[in-house]
Amino acid sequence: MVNKQESPNSAKSRPKLAKVEKKIISLIQADIPVTKRPFLEIAEQIGVEEGVVLETLQKLYDEGTIRRFGATIRHQVSGFEANAMVAWQVDEDQIDEVGEMMAAFEGVSHCYNRNPVKGWPYNLYTMIHEKTEEACYKMAEAMATMTSVKNYTLLFSREELKKTSMNYVQ
């Protein structure tokens, strides 16, 4: 979802995080155990019940402190050898609608709105993953056709230099 405005549930007005919240956030930023009950393992690490972890995560999400919860996929290991950031020039009054349509494509992992700069008119970016560069071009063409966006360019990934997540709470 493309969102240019602050959520009404913004974390800005939220009081400081409680100790247990900090511990949970710290642990979910690392690799989560691949088990039937990963949150039970997290709970055991900090000495609380599994329900406390789940309720805390839901509360932090509902308040807007946590915006999303997702996996980081090593795309080459997963069979996606071609990756392209597609930069799109979209009319500002259509950015949300077009962003929603593009984000719905199965091969799209990211969809961002950015301000254009002098000499670079693009304001919407999608990261697409496919098996070949040709397939990336075809997906971009399909996205352009569906959204009637004519001005775009593909920037292919050549080398992965960093693949780590942010670490917010210590």
Q: Could you tell me if residue 76 is inside a domain?
A: no
pTM surpassing 0.75? no
Q: Could you tell me if residue 128 is inside a domain?
A: yes
Q: For residue 80, which of 141, 160, 162 has the smallest C-alpha distance?
A: 160
Phi-psi region of 155 (alpha: psi -120 to 50; beta: other; left: phi over 0): beta
Is the domain of 57 the same as that of 110?
Answer: no
CATH classification at residue 152: 3.30.70.3460
Domain count of the chain?
A: 2
pLDDT tens digit sequence for 52-88: 999 999 999 999 888 877 666 655 556 567 889 999 9
Is the domain of 139 the same as that of 95?
Answer: yes
pLDDT tens digit sequence for 135-155: 999 999 999 999 999 999 999
Q: Could you tell me if residue 134 is inside a domain?
A: yes
Q: Could you tell me if residue 102 is inside a domain?
A: yes
How remote is the C-alpha of 90 from its chain's centroid?
20
In sequence order, the 6+-apart residues with CB closer than 8 A to the CB of 114 are: 122, 123, 124, 125
Write the DSSP string, 144-159: HHHHT---EEEEE---
DSSP-derived secondary structure letter, 106 = T
What was the pLDDT predicted at 60?
A: 93
What is the span of the domain harbouring residue 95?
Answer: 82-156
